[in-house]
Chains A and B, each alone.
Chain A
Amino acid sequence: EDKVVQSPLSLVVHEGDTVTLNCSYEVTNFRSLLWYKQEKKAPTFLFMLTSSGIEKKSGRLSSILDKKELFSILNITATQTGDSAVYLCAEISNTGTASKLTFGTGTRLQVTL
């Protein structure tokens, strides 16, 4: 069974800090890894990573995938209170026709003033 593990489970930082969130996976037929931000309800898409070693960047957020060691990290620099959310990591495997996501439990990030 595919498995996605995130760490830490929760994190409290001060505004301006840099954080690194971790995601490791055990997947039979790995295709891609996705990061989502979940604030109140819907997970909102951040990044999709398919190739190893290529950093994806969006503003203060960046992410990279290591397919040899089976993990990904999400970095947030100069954190702001608006970054407070649950960050979800999910993988897409090569099964079926559609894209089935297997999620981790998430990392709950709280950014304080």
Chain B
Amino acid sequence: EPEVTQTPSHQVTQMGQEVILRCVPISNHLYFYWYRQILGQKVEFLVSFYNNEISEKSEIFDDQFSVERPDGSNFTLKIRSTKLEDSAMYFCASSALGRASGNTIYFGEGSWLTVV
């Protein structure tokens, strides 16, 4: 069964460092997402991406965050200058179609980011 894959599974970084989290969405999907889950808290929407541009972003997704689809398969989340409060599990997700069809969103296994 096709799946969303993410790398790395776990990364430890020092405060202030840049981090890039990578995702390979399901191959025929057109919509891509990043969510995060701080330990013990709910899963939160960060950003959605379609047709090589951001479709929607949350208040969490400030100027230190950026997303990119550098080639036909990868979808990346960059955090420019990490803060302690960025420590969380970051989930990449994808869907074949957008909200118009109420399409199912499939999640990757997550990248656990620890900022020290």
B92 to chain A, nearest CB (A): 9
A35 to chain B, nearest CB (A): 11
The interface bits of chain B over 39-63 (1 if a CB of A lies within 8 angstroms of the residue's CB, else 0) are 0011111001110000110000000
Residues of chain A within 8 A (CB-CB) of B31 are: 97-99
Contact (A98, B49) CB under 8 Å given A41-B110, A104-B42: yes
Residues of chain A within 8 A (CB-CB) of B107 are: 36, 42-44
In whole angstroms, what is the CA distance A94 to B99 when docked?
7
Please state if A97 and B56 are interface contacts (CB–CB under 8 Å): yes
Across the interface, B98 reaches (CB within 8 A) one of A34, A42, A45, A99, namely: A99
Most buried by B among A43, A45, A48, A50: A43
Q: How many residues of B contact A (CB 8 A)?
A: 29
Q: How many residues of A contact B (CB 8 A)?
A: 28
In whole angstroms, what is the CA distance A21 to B77 when docked?
34
Q: Can you spell out 24 A-B residue pairs with CB atoms less than 8 angstroms apart?
A: A31-B102, A32-B102, A34-B104, A41-B109, A42-B4, A42-B109, A43-B107, A92-B99, A92-B102, A96-B55, A96-B99, A97-B31, A97-B50, A98-B49, A98-B98, A99-B31, A99-B33, A99-B102, A99-B103, A100-B99, A101-B45, A102-B45, A105-B41, A106-B42
Residues of B participating in the A interface, judged by any CB pair closer than 8 Å? 4, 31, 33, 35, 41-45, 48-50, 55-56, 89, 91, 95, 98-100, 102-110
